[in-house]
A and B are shown apart, each in its own frame.
Chain A
Amino acid sequence: MAFPHRPDAPELPDFSMLKRLARDQLIYLLEQLPGKKDLFIEADLMSPLDRIANVSILKQHEVDKLYKVENKPALSSSEQLCFLVRPRIKNMRYIASLVNADKLAGRTRKYKVIFSPQKFYACEMVLEEEGIYGDVSCDEWAFSLLPLDVDLLSMELPEFFRDYFLEGDQRWINTVAQALHLLSTLYGPFPNCYGIGRCAKMAYELWRNLEEEEDGETKGRRPEIGHIFLLDRDVDFVTALCSQVVYEGLVDDTFRIKCGSVDFGPEVTSSDKSLKVLLNAEDKVFNEIRNEHFSNVFGFLSQKARNLQAQYDRRRGMDIKQMKNFVSQELKGLKQEHRLLSLHIGACESIMKKKTKQDFQELIKTEHALLEGFNIRESTSYIEEHIDRQVSPIESLRLMCLLSITENGLIPKDYRSLKTQYLQSYGPEHLLTFSNLRRAGLLTEQAPGDTLTAVESKVSKLVTDKAAGKITDAFSSLAKRSNFRAISKKLNLIPRVDGEYDLKVPRDMAYVFSGAYVPLSCRIIEQVLERRSWQGLDEVVRLLNCSDFAFTDMTKEDKASSESLRLILVVFLGGCTFSEISALRFLGREKGKREQKGENWPALYMGNKVLAGCSGSCLQSQHSGRPRQADHLRLGVRD
């Protein structure tokens, strides 16, 4: 379980415990409904469930048939129905329709609803209103952390982004606090805590409360993880909006990695069937290329292919005994490698084809220009043309958001004309999308000076007139400026490079964006960990609009052993991209090299959902509405 590429890296905590715990708890809950039962599972929970249990485990606990929760009448004839769902209103209505149909037909069955990761009062209210409260028993399955890899945990909550950053609903903050509490219960207290963002601060406080209430549980335990860093996604939207160019990020943008696995279609598998492939450190080929810039991947794969060829060729000169050894000892490994190699070569080919077709180079060029802040006019025309040609609606939105955030909003004339063209190209109902993006602060119009003042004076009037201090965030997204240029300058996000940036031997985290940009989120983490505080970063924090929400807490430092101090858990509230994960892995490696004896920084990452940098799956359809960061972000925001 050592860190990839890190001979000297500290041991990672054993996260399989989280899976075992979740599975045992599920079994316990199923046993609460003894006898044969049919299980209805929400689509979103199927993949996470697959990662911790399988059908035979369910069968052993008397689950007879499995159904997907969808808006169709159930054909189940079982006497007991069990529902495994996210706490969503539409699920309650679905269950109510089943139960009420049974009641009408004079049929009695037992019903059990298991909410994951927790139940909400709003759901119970719906059960009560529908007249089935009491007919249905409710339980919670606190499955809030799924280990996706040796160094990656996910809460698999795609709605977190939308609920919090768009609607301002704090319902998932308790879930985050519970997850952190579980981690500290299993892996010891975190001696050093850092955070930035309003949500991060609230989650931290709620978590602290929890720990105090259940005092004593973690006392005296040796910490396994030395640092924890909580970061709100809206501190850095820019990174999530950039096209990804490290291999894992590209695979995600192209094929969409869900719950740690990807569906490779026939074009990748070179056969007539699709293959669902787990992408993690156990895939030896993938593990070596996942963090590489795409341009290095071909060289690596062809080297591998040559080596493989050579190893197979060896059998030519073998005698019987050697051949026997070869077959019994090496062949299996070679075959496995062969299979993986051809899959990833297929994936690369498919990515190349797709990217060539869609003018990827032009797109990247535009993104870099936006990041560096030159040729804004030209970039705006590029976006316009993108829209006019009805190229991907998500990509067009992503570019507009990137333009908006890097420029502190679009100038009103551009905003109006891009919006009009967008509505004409992709449909007038996207009026709602624009309203959402504006509310989330992702796509705004530069306010002429006096407008802002008017709003501000209105706010301050309200504050003085009524309950003081309670309105502070009322107009937050209006008043908030992203200040990206100033932050970029302060933190050196655009590396000054003489000559060519060597992507094969990256010198900094910018390699994950072809050397053009250091991800803001990762730079903040790096700076704070180097100083062990926010000291000297006041100006940056102010520009990030986070003056009240940047915190550190290092109360228990003395107890930590130096070994455990080297592990860092980074929590992205609202999701993270694979590019950020690659950048943090790079950071960990570099720190290891630089400070041989001292600390180095293997990091773990945890997010509500691993976001794809740019593609969006979550928000996809306007009628169902979810987002992947940009995609996801993107998703979070559309209607």
Chain B
Amino acid sequence: MMNRTKGDEEEYWNSSKFKAFTFDDEDDELSQLKESKRAVNSLRDFVDDDDDDDLERVSWSGEPVGSISWSIKETAGNSSSSHEGREQLKSRNSFSSYAQLPKPTSTYSLSSFFRGRTRPGSFQSLSDALSDTPAKSYAPELGRPKGEYRDYSNDWSPSDTVRRLRKGKVCSLERFRSLQDKLQLLEEAVSMHDGNVITAVLIFLKRTLSKEILFRELEVRQVALRHLIHFLKEIGDQKLLLDLFRFLDRTEELALSHYREHLNIQDPDKRKEFLKTCIGLPFSAEDSAHIQDHYTLLERQIIIEANDRHLESAGQTEIFRKHPRKASILNMPLVTTLFYSCFYHYTEAEGTFSSPVNLKKTFKIPDKQYVLTALAARAKLRAWNDVDALFTTKNWLGYTKKRAPIGFHRVVEILHKNNAPVQTCRDLKDRQQLLAYRSKVDKGSAEEEKIDALLSSSQIRWKN
């Protein structure tokens, strides 16, 4: 098996003609790197002796002291603490304490960037900057915040209105009362391409048109329609959004949009009930099955969670005492749930909800996925007999056979990671696997010797 893979690899690299760059540990390049590191490190004593003037001053969190991000973290870190803490904070955040910073130049925030241009720590006033900025024409924009432009004139044409809106000016739309005027306004906005203005007009239309008329007109104006949909999503007007999808006959989006709401429900039982309402929605056939599975999975998890929490706190069950659970199983993916079940409930009868076989059947988990997950779970517990049994099948005459539905290099990887004994591999009668395993163990180790002995043994009938 490994031979074949290797051959393929070589063929690939040869056929595609560019240099195979590897990230393998044994690579010359890494040793080169290590050597460089040693060389540089050997200089450290000499270098680190005195001043650190070129080193950035960095707080415990890694932010340069004096940077805005650093300062905010300090505020946040202290804001929940006592009154006293807040007082300290006040003085720390006051200007004077920043003035005491050793050298403003040592923070990269600003001065290093302006080196040679502005004096460190100083800043140019507005007027300075304007006078030496070549683009004086930019100044008017600077000088007048746009919010101050106010104009309630009623005489603007649709195109003037739209242009003013683009500049951020406040501009009344109330005079556009006929449907024709409203639509003309919308079309001007669309033809100008500014999404902010399109949305502004849509807000006005939404307020002043019945939803049937609004929907009808937007159905033939796709650009505007997409803006309305996005706007409704953002402000969370779920009701109108669903009405719109219904009107447009976009049943799948309707269903997905409804389903999305489950993410906002934290309580597991309520979430489960909500998912139940999603089952009948007009999803594609394929997605309907996924939704059903989602519901069933959460339902199972709620049962398993309640049960196991009880078992764990009772302290009578060995597996929970030896391996306390690190997290709740609620809302975990199916594969994680399967792993959990292989870990804590491996031997349970198929009839129980928490048994791995039950999960496998309920969710039609493919053999490959099942074996991979079970292997990982049992190897983690070092339950080598279970691992062995995973690869044993009986045919109808009662003969046993070893086989694995997943690549043996994966098996080896998992076994090796969990320090599986060489015996396990031998029991698999898999010579290739053993060879692969040999490449993973340390050279000259006891394991290696054992493997060599096994490989040369004539007692074993290798299956490959």
Q: Which residues of A contact B (CB under 8 A)?
A: 16-17, 19-21, 23-25, 27-29, 32, 41, 46-47, 49-60, 64-68, 75, 89, 118-122, 125-126, 137-140, 142, 163, 167-174, 182, 185-186, 202-203, 205-206, 209, 213-214, 217, 245, 263, 270, 273-276, 278, 282, 293-295, 298-299, 301-302, 304-306, 308-309, 312, 332, 334-336, 338-339, 341-342, 345-346, 348-349, 352, 355-356, 360-361, 364-365, 368-369, 372, 385, 388-390, 416, 419-421, 423-429, 431-432, 435, 462, 466-467, 470-474, 497-503, 514-516, 622-623, 639
Q: Is the CB of B333 within 8 A of A428?
A: yes
Q: Are B138 and A182 in contact (CB under 8 A)?
A: yes
Q: When the two chains form their complex, are residues A173 and B335 in contact, meaning their CB atoms are under 8 A apart?
A: no
Given contacts A46-B68, A345-B33, contact A51 B109 (CB under 8 A): yes
Closest to B297 in A: A428
Q: Which stretch, B120-128, B318-326, B389-397, touches the partner chain A? A: B120-128
- Name which residue of chain B comes closest to A137, CB basis: B147
How far, in angstroms, from A59 to B109 measured CA to CA in the complex?
15
Pair B19/A66 contact, Cβ less than 8 Å: no
Q: B199 and A122: CB pair below 8 A?
A: yes
A56 B40 Cβ-Cβ under 8 A:
no
Q: Which chain A positions have C-beta within 8 A of B269?
A: none
Find out whether the CB atom of A424 lies under 8 angstroms from the CB atom of B112: no
**Interchain residue pairs with CB less than 8 A apart (23):** A19-B114, A46-B69, A50-B67, A54-B66, A54-B67, A60-B123, A65-B89, A67-B79, A121-B165, A167-B233, A169-B226, A170-B198, A206-B194, A217-B137, A295-B19, A298-B32, A299-B32, A301-B33, A301-B36, A308-B40, A346-B37, A385-B407, A514-B21
Which residues of B sit under 8 angstroms from A140, Cβ to Cβ? 145-147, 168
B343 CB to closest chain A CB (Å) equals 15
Q: Is the CB of A352 within 8 A of B221?
A: no
Q: Report the Cα distance A27→B263, complex, angstroms.
A: 41
Contact A122 B93 (CB under 8 A): no
- Report the nearest A residue to B30, measured CB to CB: A352
Quote the shortest CB–CB distance from A162 to chain B (angstroms). Answer: 10
Q: Do the beta carbons of A471 and B222 come within 8 Å of each other? A: yes
| Top 10 A-B residue pairs of the complex, sorted by shortest distance between their CB atoms | A170-B195, A171-B195, A168-B226, A274-B62, A121-B200, A515-B18, A428-B294, A501-B18, A202-B193, A59-B95
| A interface footprint on B3-20 (CB within 8 Å = 1, 0 otherwise) | 000000100100011111
Closest CB of chain B to A429's CB: distance in Å? 6
Contacting pair B18 A497 (CB below 8 A): yes
| A171 and B226 within 8 A (CB) | no
Are A425 and B335 in contact, CB atoms less than 8 angstroms apart?
yes
Contacts of A282 in B (CB 8 A): 112
Q: Is the CB of A21 within 8 A of B133?
A: yes
Complex Cα gap A185–B124 (Å): 21
Measured CB to CB, the closest approach of chain A to B173, in angstroms, equals 10
**Do B193 and A361 touch across chains, with their CB atoms under 8 A apart?**
no
Measured CB to CB, the nearest residue on chain A to B227 is: A169
Q: Check A168–B24 contact: CB distance below 8 A.
A: no
Tell me if B286 counts as interface (CB < 8 A to partner A).
Answer: yes
Q: Given that A20-B129, A59-B95, A356-B24 are known contacts, is A174 also in contact with B196, CB under 8 Å in the complex?
A: yes
* Partner pick for B23 among A50, A361, A501, CB 8 A cutoff: A361
A171 and B9 CA atoms in complex are apart in Å by 48
Minimum CB–CB distance for A503 against chain B, Å: 6
Q: Is the CB of A356 within 8 A of B286?
A: no
Q: CB distance B138 to A24 under 8 Å?
A: no
- Most interface-central of A47, A293, A431 (chain B CB within 10 A): A431
| Chain A residues with CB under 8 A of B259 | 431-432
Whether A46 lies near B194 (C-beta < 8 A) is no
Q: Smallest Cβ distance from B331 to chain A, in angstroms?
A: 8
Q: In the complex, which residues of chain A have a beta carbon less than 8 angstroms from the beta carbon of B235?
A: 89, 122, 125-126
Question: Considering the chains assembled together, what is the distance between the CA atoms of A338 and B42 in angstroms?
Answer: 11
Instruction: Kindly identify which residue among A16, A185, A372 contacts B114, using a CB–CB cutoff of 8 Å.
Output: A16
Chain B residues with CB under 8 A of A47: 69
B84 interface contact, C-beta 8 A: no
B312 contacts the other chain (Cβ, under 8 Å)? no
Partner of B40, one of A263, A278, A338: A338
Looking at the complex, which one of A28, A169, A365 makes contact with B126 (CB distance below 8 Å)? Answer: A28
Q: How far is the CB of B253 from chain A (nearest CB, A)?
A: 8
Which B residues touch A365, using CB under 8 A? 9, 12
CB <8 Å contact, A171 and B68:
no
Q: A497-B18, A514-B18 are in contact. Are A312 and B43 (CB under 8 A)?
A: yes
B197 / chain A contacts, CB cutoff of 8 Å? 121, 174
Contacting pair A467 B220 (CB below 8 A)? yes
Which of A57, A65, A122, A501 is the one whose CB lies under 8 Å from B75? Answer: A65
Hey, what's the 0/1 contact readout for B408-441 against A, CB within 8 Å counting as 1?
A: 0010000000000000000000000000000000
Give A638 to B79 CA distance when docked, in angstroms: 34
Interface residue ranges of B267-308 to A (CB < 8 Å): 286-287, 290-291, 293-294, 297
Q: A273-B60, A276-B62 are in contact. Are A89 and B234 (CB under 8 A)?
A: yes
8 A Cβ contacts from B363-419 to A? 363, 365, 368-369, 372, 407, 410
7 other A-B residue contacts (CB within 8 Å) besides A68-B75, A346-B37: A20-B124, A24-B126, A53-B123, A140-B145, A185-B135, A202-B193, A428-B297
Q: Which residues of A contact B86 (CB under 8 A)?
A: 75
Contacts A56-B66, A431-B290 given: A66-B93 contact, CB under 8 Å? Answer: yes
Does A174 lie within 8 Å of B194, measured CB to CB?
A: yes
Q: Are A466 and B17 in contact (CB under 8 A)?
A: no
Is there an interface contact between B109 and A349, defined as CB atoms closer than 8 Å? Answer: no
**A169/B109 contact (C-beta < 8 A), A118-B168, A498-B17 known:** no
Residues of A within 8 A of B168 (CB): 118-119, 140
Assess the A170–B43 pair: CB atoms within 8 A.
no
A467 to B235, CA, bound (A): 29
Taking CB atoms, residues of chain A closer than 8 Å to B36 are 298, 301-302, 304-305, 341, 345
Residues in chain B near residue A66, CB distance under 8 A? 68, 71-72, 75, 93
Contact indicator B372/A389 (Cβ below 8 Å): yes
One of B61, B108, B231, B293 near A122 (C-beta < 8 A): B231
Q: A54-B67, A186-B135 are in contact. Are A431 and B291 (CB under 8 A)?
A: yes
Would B54 and A336 count as touching, CB distance under 8 A?
Answer: yes
Q: Which residues of A contact B53 (CB under 8 A)?
A: 332
Pick from A55, A389, A516: contact of B67, CB under 8 Å: A55
Q: Write out the residue numbers on chain A whose beta carbons fall within 8 Å of the beta carbon of B33.
A: 298, 301-302, 345, 348-349, 352
Q: Are A122 and B40 in contact (CB under 8 A)?
A: no
Q: Is the pair B293, A294 in contact by a Cβ cutoff of 8 Å?
A: no
Please, how many angstroms separate the alpha-carbon atoms of A84 and B98 in the complex? 22
- On whether the beta carbons of B19 and A514 are closer than 8 Å, the reply is yes
In the complex, which residues of chain A have a beta carbon less than 8 angstroms from the beta carbon of B61?
274
Pairwise interchain contact B109-A170, C-beta atoms closer than 8 A: no
Separation of A472 and B22 alpha carbons in the complex (Å): 48
Question: Inside 8 A of B142's CB, which chain A residues have their CB?
Answer: 21, 24-25, 28
The complex places the Cα of A369 from the Cα of B18 at a distance, in Å, of 13
Query: At the interface, yes or no: B41 with Cβ under 8 Å from chain A?
Result: yes
Contact A361 B22, CB 8 Å, known A21-B129, A168-B223, A169-B226: yes
Binary contact track B201-216/A, C-beta < 8 Å → 1, others 0: 0010000000000000
Closest Cβ of chain A: how far from B27's Cβ, in Å? 8
Complex CA–CA separation, A349 to B56 (angstroms): 23
Q: Is B68 a contact partner of A435 (Cβ separation < 8 A)?
A: no
Contact: A167 with B196, CB < 8 Å? Answer: no
Q: Establish whether residues A57 and B72, one from each chain, have CB atoms under 8 Å apart when the complex forms.
A: no
Q: From residue B337, how far is it (CB to closest CB) to chain A in Å?
A: 9
Contacts of A137 in B (CB 8 A): 147
The answer, yes or no, to whether B230 is at the interface (CB within 8 Å) is yes
Which residues of chain B have C-beta atoms less than 8 A from A67's C-beta?
A: 72, 75-76, 79
User: Are B110's CB and A53's CB within 8 A?
Assistant: yes
Indicate whether B453 reaches chain A with its CB closer than 8 angstroms: no
Task: Determine whether B25 belongs to the interface, using a CB cutoff of 8 Å to chain A.
Answer: yes
Shortest CB distance B100–A (Å): 11
Contact partners of A623 in chain B: CB under 8 A: 263
Residues of B within 8 A of A142 (CB): 141
Closest chain B residue to A503, Cβ basis: B19
Residues of chain B with a CB closer than 8 A to A276's CB: 56, 58, 62-64
